[in-house]
Amino acid sequence: MVAHFSYDVPKKVVLEDLRYHLEESGFVIKEYAPEDAFLFTDFKLYDWGTGRRLLAVAVHVNDKITMTGMGKMDVPVSDLGPTEDLMKIKEVDRLPYSIQKRTFLELVRSVSGLGYETINHWP
């Protein structure tokens, strides 16, 4: 999951805005490198009672803002065995769109609300 945004203020201001916004949204900043205009969050838990979903975000500010989301989710691994072994957190390449919509795309909308314009890659 990747989103790009345009900006027209200094990189340090953008990175500080996004850091504050992510912290206010419940993310814990794991790595913050203002000299490289980069930050990385720890996984944030989304639990709707139907299984856990985790989302981490990496932000890199260069000629545009690149926000990359990494997800994990509960996946049934077996129907035999102890109850605690039936659901496991697994890393997946792609979260289902319904989960992306409630996690990453909601974050993208909130960043757009800060005044950073989403760059649309579709013709």
Domain segments of the chain: what residues?
Answer: 2-71+97-111
Q: What is the pLDDT of residue 59?
A: 96
Residue 2 predicted with pLDDT over 80: yes
Residue 92 predicted with pLDDT over 60: yes
CB distance 69 to 104 below 8 Å: yes
pTM, whole model, 2 decimals? 0.81
DSSP state of 122: -
Q: At CA 62, angle to CA 110 and CA 23, rounded to 5?
A: 35
**For strand 38-41 and strand 44-47, is the pairing parallel, antiparallel, or unpaired?**
unpaired
Reported CATH class of domain 2-71+97-111: alpha beta
- Name, in order, each residue with C-beta under 8 angstroms of 97's C-beta and a sequence gap of 6 or more: none
What's the whole-number mean pLDDT along residues 98-114? Answer: 89
